[in-house]
């Protein structure tokens, strides 16, 4: 059963309709990647699920309850980790717990989250001394520390160098296997989408509709050199290439 749902969601900014009756469901533990051209409404969709924005029409629900504001069981990772400069790494991760509960216990949880992203030794460092990759690991740990049921990621690795990106994709893949949160991963990187997601949703230009909703049934960690993997990447590229290219695709599944 789908736990996280957008139903016929409408969102416009002034005259500009960005989401036009868009529906999308994510099941418990499911990893869904969303790709689409710049400006097509990916971040808008993510912000709605995060409770950071409200639709003009339609419904955003979790377990049937309307999402009205950010929830403790949903966490967000943005492209920039936005760390607090006056707190050390451990302190920044503890921010994810919202200052509630026992402090010693919070430290333990934060350290555990840092270990998950391979950053336990950096607990006492200040943000200004971190590389971009390390800072983004802290951002991920801060999101993980409260063990979210749904982890929303908006181009989380796009500012990183190629090697760091692959490392962090691997970390996310493992975290997902171990903790099993549902994921919504917004990305411009088709290889990343194919490597991490159970389903990839391709949005068309605003007002965004779904042009392809493709299930990927390959074991993790995925072999990016395999023919099956590369066929999926090629298929995503065709769907992104525009309506003409998508219509040439005989196996295209249009979302209902």
Ligand X SMILES: Nc1ncnc2c1ncn2[C@@H]1O[C@H](COP(=O)(O)OP(=O)(O)OP(=O)(O)O)[C@@H](O)[C@H]1O
Encoding tokens for residue 135?
A: 């800072």
Which partner in Mg ion, ligand X, none is near 39 (CB below 5 to 8 A by kind)? ligand X
- CB closer to ligand X out of 12 and 120: 12
Decide: 208 and 8 in contact? Cβ < 8 Å. no
40-48, 156-164, 168-176, 226-234 -> range binding Mg ion (CB under 5 A): 40-48
Q: How far is the CB of 186 from Mg ion (least distance, A)?
A: 6
Task: Kindly write out the interface string for residues 82-121 of this chain, putting x where it contacts Mg ion by CB under 5 A and - elsewhere.
Answer: ----------------------------------------
Q: Please, where are the H alpha helices in 66-131?
A: 89-95, 103-116
For residue 202, what is the enclosing H or E element?
strand 199-203
Q: How far is the CB of 204 from Mg ion (least distance, A)?
A: 15
202 contributes a contact to ligand X by CB under 6 A: no
C-alpha distances in angstroms, 14 versus 6, 56, 112, 209, 231? Answer: 21, 11, 45, 19, 40
Half-sphere exposure of 157 (CA within 13 A, CB side): 21
Q: Which of 154, 161, 80, 151 is nearest to 116 (CA)?
A: 151
- CB closer to ligand X out of 77 and 119: 77
39 contributes a contact to ligand X by CB under 6 A: yes
Decide: 164 and 171 in contact? Cβ < 8 Å. no
Half-sphere exposure of 121 (CA within 13 A, CB side): 2
43 contributes a contact to Mg ion by CB under 5 A: yes
42 contributes a contact to ligand X by CB under 6 A: yes
- CB closer to ligand X out of 205 and 230: 205
Q: Return residues touching Mg ion (CB under 5 A).
A: 43
Q: Return residues touching ligand X (CB under 6 A).
A: 13, 16, 18, 36, 38-44, 206
């Amino acid at each position: 059963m789908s736990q996280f749902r957008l139903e016929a969601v409408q969102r416009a900014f002034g005259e500009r309709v960005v989401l036009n009756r868009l529906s999308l469901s994510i099941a418990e533990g499911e990893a869904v990647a969303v790709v689409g051209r710049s400006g097509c409404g990916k971040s808008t969709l993510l912000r709605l699920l995060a409770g950071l924005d409200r639709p003009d029409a339609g419904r955003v629900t979790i377990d049937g309850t309307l999402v009205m504001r950010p929830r403790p069981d949903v966490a967000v990772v943005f492209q920039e980790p936005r760390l607090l400069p006056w707190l050390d790494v451990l302190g920044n991760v503890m921010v994810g717990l919202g200052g509630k509960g026992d402090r010693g216990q919070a430290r333990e949880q934060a350290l555990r989250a840092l270990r998950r992203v391979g950053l336990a030794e950096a607990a006492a460092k200040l943000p200004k001394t971190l590389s971009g990759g390390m800072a983004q690991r802290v951002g991920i740990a801060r999101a993980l520390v409260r063990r979210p049921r749904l982890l929303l990621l908006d181009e989380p690795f796009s500012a990183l160098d190629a090697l760091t990106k692959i490392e962090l994709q691997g970390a996310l893949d493992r975290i997902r296997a171990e903790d099993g949160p549902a994921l919504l991963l917004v990305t411009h990187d088709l290889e990343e989408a194919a490597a991490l997601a159970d389903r990839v949703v391709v949005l068309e230009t605003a007002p965004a509709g779904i042009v392809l909703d493709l299930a990927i049934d390959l074991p993790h960690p995925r072999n990016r050199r395999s023919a099956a993997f590369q066929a999926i990447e090629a298929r995503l590229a065709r769907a992104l290439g525009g309506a003409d290219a998508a219509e040439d695709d005989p196996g295209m599944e249009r979302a209902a």
